[in-house]
Amino acid sequence: MQQQLHQPTTAKRPSGRTASTTLSSLVHSSIQRRTVALLMYAVEVLPLPSNFTFVNSTNTTAADCAIVHTPEPTFTTKFDNTTVAHSIESATVSTTTDPPTTDPPTTTTSTPPPTSAPTPPPTDPPTAAPTPPPTTSPPAPHYPYQDTNFDWLNIEEWQGDNDCSPSFASGGFQHSKIEVSTFGKPFNQSPVLRTKRGWSGEKILFVEWVTYPGSDTNIWLLPTSLSRQFGDSRWPNCGEYDIYEMFNGDAAIGHKGTKNLFYGSGLDTFGQSTTHIASKDCYAPFFVKQPSVGSQAAQWPVRYHNKISMAVIFGRDGNGLFIQQILDPTIVDGADGTADIQGGTPADKMYNNANTYWGVKPEGNCAAGHDPNSGYPFFGEFRLVFQEQFHGKFDITNIRVLVK
């Protein structure tokens, strides 16, 4: 803060020569002079002779008080045991003195009072911009399938072969996946892990997984009517649908007959989808139209350490009932729990109608069980089955079951 500097306002002390001249004219020259300076007055203290008498200046002669023209008030007081006369300097004393010294005017810096600005008239508050109507997203569409919300990470939804407890696989159920291995068994005795329930009719089964080196990943569907996984005489008439079957484990135990058509020469770089119906001697026609390798089969890549997904559609169109498998589709969710799939790499549809029995002619060893209307056997109740058939493992990372 800046300080304002001011001249001191105390006036100068008047000169003492007027009083000194007046007193000197009243006393004899032999009187010893002594000057006493007082705080507020310039007073000359003079020792007086014993025969000196105070007289009223009005009674003196003109010669004695030549310079006195007006009465001057006097008073007496004691100072150092001596009575002295204090002559009060008065503005009425006429003397011949130096011109009075006048103090310069005191300069005072002052701040002028603030000038108040005129108060503007009140104004109306600004009008708020109109609130735009809330934007609403278009309603989600309704898709043709309903999500069953299958609780696939719940071990209680699973079992082993012959309806046994799934406790053997408890270590494989983790936070966001199911790790499928041989669960401590030799690979040729590897147990299966399957869902307790199955799904029938028009549906989409979606499975996502990751395969690791050394694995013989097997993912397939079997009817719930089969309690035992293998050795039932009703197989294959009851039907089996292989979603993704690898063969490197099969080769290790001497199985032959499968050829890699798109992914090199080995058996560890592809998985195959195929069907089993009618009898052990029913064979589908062979042709190559990638990914399809026949009227009942297709081959798909192996992506070690990376996710791969499959959707299997059990549907109906103008040509009859069909099964179609699609690699890496996208599931889209709609309103009220509805869903569908989009995109991906599809194989050809396998039809069941009056002329075709799931991709083959319904004749000879391939005729048993043919029903163009019911879709036997695959429109019956089938469940998911997982099995590691070699020395590796694979992780199930998502399952969705959509039904009509």
Is 53 a residue whose pLDDT tops 60?
A: no
**Are the C-beta atoms of 336 and 371 separated by less than 8 Å?**
no
Q: Containing domain of residue 374, as a range?
A: 145-403
Give mean pLDDT, residues 350-379.
Answer: 96
Q: Is there a single domain that holds both residue 39 and residue 155?
A: no
> What integer best gives the mean pLDDT of the chain?
79
Q: What pLDDT shows up at residue 24? A: 42
Q: Is there a single domain that holds both residue 266 and residue 390?
A: yes
Separation between Cα atoms, residue 17 and residue 363, nearest integer Å: 158
Q: Is there a single domain that holds both residue 193 and residue 70?
A: no
Backbone angles phi, psi at 57, to 5 degrees: -65, -15
Closest to 182 measured CA to CA, from 394, 397, 389: 389
Separation between Cα atoms, residue 367 and residue 381, nearest integer Å: 21
Is 285 a residue whose pLDDT tops 70?
A: yes
pTM: 0.67
- Of the candidates 43, 66, 87, which is a domain's last residue? 87
Give mean pLDDT, residues 46-50.
Answer: 49
Q: What pLDDT shows up at residue 133? A: 79
Is 196 a residue whose pLDDT tops 70?
A: yes
Is 98 a residue whose pLDDT tops 70?
A: no
Q: How confident is the model at residue 102 (pLDDT cuts 50, 70, 90)?
A: low
Q: How confident is the model at residue 117 (pLDDT cuts 50, 70, 90)?
A: low
Query: Is 202 within a domain?
Result: yes
Q: Is there a single domain that holds both residue 159 and residue 83?
A: no
Which residues, other chains included, contact 88 with Cβ-Cβ below 8 Å and sequence gap of 6+? 41, 72, 73, 74, 75
Q: How confident is the model at residue 230 (pLDDT cuts 50, 70, 90)?
A: confident
Q: Percent of the chain, pLDDT > 70? A: 70
Residue-wise pLDDT tens digits, 358-369? 999 999 999 999
Query: Is 128 within a domain?
Result: no
Q: Is there a single domain that holds both residue 275 and residue 180?
A: yes
Q: Is there a single domain that holds both residue 188 and residue 333?
A: yes
Query: Is 367 within a domain?
Result: yes
Query: Is 97 within a domain?
Result: no
Residue-wise pLDDT tens digits, 235-258? 999 999 999 999 988 877 777 778
Q: Is there a single domain that holds both residue 212 and residue 286?
A: yes
Question: At 365, which CATH number?
Answer: 2.60.120.200
Give mean pLDDT, residues 102-113.
Answer: 52
Q: Is there a single domain that holds both residue 59 and residue 156?
A: no
Separation between Cα atoms, residue 348 and residue 184, nearest integer Å: 39
CA distances from 118 to 102, 115, 121, 250 (A): 44, 9, 9, 100
Checking phi first, is residue 45 left (phi over 0); if not, alpha (psi -120 to 50) or beta?
Answer: beta
Query: Is 39 within a domain?
Result: yes
**Weakest-pLDDT range from 98-102, 131-135, 162-166, 207-211:** 98-102
- Of the candidates 71, 87, 103, which is a domain's last residue? 87
**Weakest-pLDDT range from 57-66, 229-238, 248-257:** 57-66
Query: Is 35 within a domain?
Result: yes
Residue-wise pLDDT tens digits, 380-389? 999 999 999 9
**Are the C-beta atoms of 332 and 142 separated by less than 8 Å?**
no
Q: How confident is the model at residue 86 (pLDDT cuts 50, 70, 90)?
A: very low
Q: How confident is the model at residue 148 (pLDDT cuts 50, 70, 90)?
A: very high
Q: Is there a single domain that holds both residue 75 and residue 161?
A: no
Q: Is there a single domain that holds both residue 55 and residue 149?
A: no
Q: How confident is the model at residue 327 (pLDDT cuts 50, 70, 90)?
A: very high
- Of the candidates 67, 87, 107, which is a domain's last residue? 87
Q: What pLDDT shows up at residue 113? A: 58
3-state SS track over the chain: CCCCCCCCCCCCCCCCHHHHHHHHCCCCCCCCCEEEECCCCEEEECCCCCCCCCCCHHHCCCCCCCCCCCCCCEEEEEECCEEEEEECCCCCCCCCCCCCCCCCCCCCCCCCCCCCCCCCCCCCCCCCCCCCCCCCCCCCCCCCEEECCCCCCCHHHEECHHHCCHHHHHHHECCCCEEECCCCCCHHHCCCEEECCCECCCEEEEEEEEECCCCCEEEEEEECCCCCCCCCCCCCCCCEEEEEECCHHHHHCCCCCCCCCCCCCCCCCEEEEEEECCCCCCCCCEEEECCEEECCEEEEECCECCEEEEEEEEEEECCEEEEEEEECCEEEECHHHEEEEECCEECCCEEECCCCECCECCCHHHCCCCCCCCCCCCCCCEEEEEEECCCCCEEEEEEEEEEC
Separation between Cα atoms, residue 299 and residue 312, nearest integer Å: 14
Query: Is 104 within a domain?
Result: no
Query: Is 123 within a domain?
Result: no
Closest to 198 measured CA to CA, from 24, 22, 403: 403
Q: What pLDDT shows up at residue 84? A: 38
Q: What pLDDT shows up at residue 48? A: 47
Q: How many domains does the chain have?
A: 2
Q: Is there a single domain that holds both residue 41 and residue 163?
A: no
Is 18 a residue whose pLDDT tops 60?
A: no
Spacing of C-alpha 402 from chain mean position? 34
Q: How confident is the model at residue 67 (pLDDT cuts 50, 70, 90)?
A: very low
Which span out of 7-16, 257-266, 271-280 was modeled with the highest average pLDDT?
271-280
Q: Is there a single domain that holds both residue 396 and residue 259?
A: yes
